[in-house]
A and B are shown apart, each in its own frame.
Chain A
Amino acid sequence: MSLLEIRNLHASVEGKEILKGIDLTVNAGEIHAIMGPNGSGKSTLANVLAGRDLYEVTAGEVLFEGKNLLDMPPEERARAGIFLAFQYPVEIPGVSNMYFLKTALNEKRKYLGLPELDAADFLKLVREKMKIVDIDQSLLNRPVNEGFSGGEKKRNEIFQMAVLEPKLAILDETDSGLDIDALKAVADGVNRIRNNDNAFIVVTHYQRLLEYVVPDFVHVLYNGKIVKSGGKELALELEEKGYDWLK
């Protein structure tokens, strides 16, 4: 059974159709890159999968481990193992990073029938995970993303991913606005997290990240549809020829 199966997905925002029939299959252990010019629907796809209600699904279906994903509210999708690393992570003053993550992890554990972690055990877990993602300890006690630089916010997304251990992680233009060091740190994190049981959808405009997070499949999204699919070489070809080549 595939991890994610998208069939003929159509989605609109404010009445305007953005996704015009997406078909995609993702299996465990795979990394799929989705590239495309601005306005092609990349972020829409990521947000529809995560369950953002700004977008209306007008046709098609999405199965996650054989279950109807579109019927599940965002929190259930997260607990079932979907994680969206946001392009613009929101700041949440007054809610500490630690408290937020512990709550999120325990919601997932409850859903899976596992006992909740107390503060001490959670701290132990956090220390382990900090070895995976290069994140400053001080950021953990601060309110979520408050005053974080762009790079710190993206690292925080990957750190959350490390703690929550999703089955399917969607990176929505995680590389945008990052300098090369931050990019490498994010890529290192992803590479340490990936294994044969999970999968990644990396949504990106540029090929740069894909040198570090090497995809198994590259799909090109253009005007709401996947117009071309291939291996990692496709990314390089796009880089050379530009998006106009697809028209």
Chain B
Amino acid sequence: MINKEQIIEQFEELFRRYEAQLNGQKEQAVHAVRRKAIEALAEVGIPTRKDEEWRFTDLQPLFSRSFDLPVKESGQAVTAGQVQPFLYVDFPGPQLVFVDGQFAPHLSTNIKDNAEVVIRPLAQMLKENPDGFDFMADEAILKNNTFTALNTAFTQDGVFIEVADRVVLQSPINILYLSSGKATGVAQNVRTVVRVGKNAQVRVIETFLSMEQTEHFTNTLTLLQLDENAHAVHNKVQNESQAAFHMGNIFVRQQANSHFVSNNLAFGGKLVRTNILVTLQGEGGEAQLNGLYMGNDAQHIDNNTLIDHAVSNCSSRELYQGILNDTATAVFSGKILVRPGAQKTDADQSNNCLLLSDEARIDTKPQLEIYADDVRCTHGATVGQLDADAIFYLRSRGISEQRAKNLLIYSFAERIIDQMKVESVREFVDAIILQRFKENMNFSK
């Protein structure tokens, strides 16, 4: 049973402890926002399964734990050698490494910070410019849900990226949020802010990994703003500990003729939820949301998306694919909102899930809320098993049953992985998938 008052009390207590070790930062102007956020917690509330948005996801396991703050500077003791396996090999751009939610400069490489592109750790930004914290202050976002409120209250660090007008960044940017697992039960709150100027282009990857298979709680918030004609690709690669809790919120605002692609990959975590809210605010905007989730054992992965067609002539494409085994469960809740007057909206949504065991379960909730009359919206969901005819076809050519199944599972996942254009990231993700199979598949395209 979730006792809401008790849980709020626990978070308020944690906030007091957090404040106590902030030292000078307490005096920063941004701290008022943090206080406001923790105070708003009572108003925002603690969700239960009676809330529609959380109907299929039980948060009791998360709320019944009490978490600790990250150990200060826990990244200091981590060496470049230790972090190596968690980075993309030959990654052609900047890689910012955070350990337990704190920037680790000695582990990070290639960071640019100039007139064309600003890439700055948030804590550094707040220190250098104490009054520049608008990215923390948005009230609507703060009050959107329990976890955005908590994120606003507890975030100390993260990344701020700003790409100037007309700048086309050739190199992708990787942000690695790594949990050290040195202490168990640590909660890390991080925030990533990306602003893309007019006609500018950027590709950002947020990678969430754990050094140990211990219990921890990651609460992340990403804000993406695309100006007119901007192009942005946001990749989320999450493969945290199988004992971890992961709550993610991604907010995207698109101006006219901007193009946004989201690739949301979830492999790790015991209880995972990612919310993605895309608001198409300018005509001609395009959004493409791709997702892949793979659940084993007793994992629970919940993806909740909302694409808000606020104006006319925008298009959105959504494709989520899931592979569930053992007693894993997943949720896909995808809402397309077409506001009054948003004519000539063109929206497609598909969710396909492979169930590899009898106990695996997917709850799928596609929703279309349409208030304009000249629109094209389609949605479809398929839930099924591997095609027996396809398995037999492969076996009839000499491929073993297990290998045939693995091939088919892999090709199902490939449909999403193929959308990732950075080769070193694709290889990293391929390796995660191959590790999940009982047999070595040794794929080479």
Contacts and interface: CB of A to CB of B under 8 A. Distances in A.
Interface of A: 50-52, 73-75, 77-79, 83-84, 86, 89-90, 92-96, 99-101, 103-105, 107-108, 111, 119, 143-144, 160, 164
Contact of A94 (B395, B399, B412): B412
B398 A164 contact: yes
A74 B445 contact: no
Nearest to A77: B396
A75 B408 contact: no
A86 B393 contact: yes
Contacts of B389: 90
B392 A94 contact: no
Contacts, number: 76
Interface in B423-445: 443-445
Interface of B: prevailing SS: helix
B414 A75 contact: no
Contacts of A51: 395-396
B400 interface: yes
Contact of B395 (A75, A99, A143, A144): A75
Q: For A83, A95, A111, A144, which residue has the most chain B Cβ atoms within 10 angstroms?
A: A95
B27 interface: no
Interface residues of B, number: 25
Contacts of B395: 51, 73-75, 78
A104 B411 contact: no
Contact of B398 (A79, A94, A99, A119): A79
Interface in B364-403: 387, 389-390, 392-401, 403
A218 B86 CA distance: 65
A126 to B, nearest CB: 15
B415 interface: yes
A86 B411 CA distance: 22
B399 A107 contact: yes
Given A90-B387, A92-B408, A95-B411, A164 B401 contact: no
Given A95-B407, A95-B411, A96-B445, A84 B399 contact: no
Given A90-B389, A90-B393, A92-B408, A103 B399 contact: yes
Contacts of A107: 397-400
Given A90-B389, A92-B390, A119-B444, A74 B396 contact: yes
B410 interface: yes
B407 A75 contact: no
Contact of B392 (A52, A96, A100, A119): A52
A86 B397 CA distance: 11
B412 A75 contact: no
A168 to B, nearest CB: 13
Contacts of B408: 92, 94-95
A165 B394 CA distance: 16
Given A94-B412, A95-B407, A119-B444, A78 B396 contact: yes
A89 B393 CA distance: 8
A128 to B, nearest CB: 19
B400 A84 contact: no
A84 to B, nearest CB: 5
Contact of A99 (B387, B404, B445): B445
Given A75-B401, A92-B411, A100 B394 contact: yes
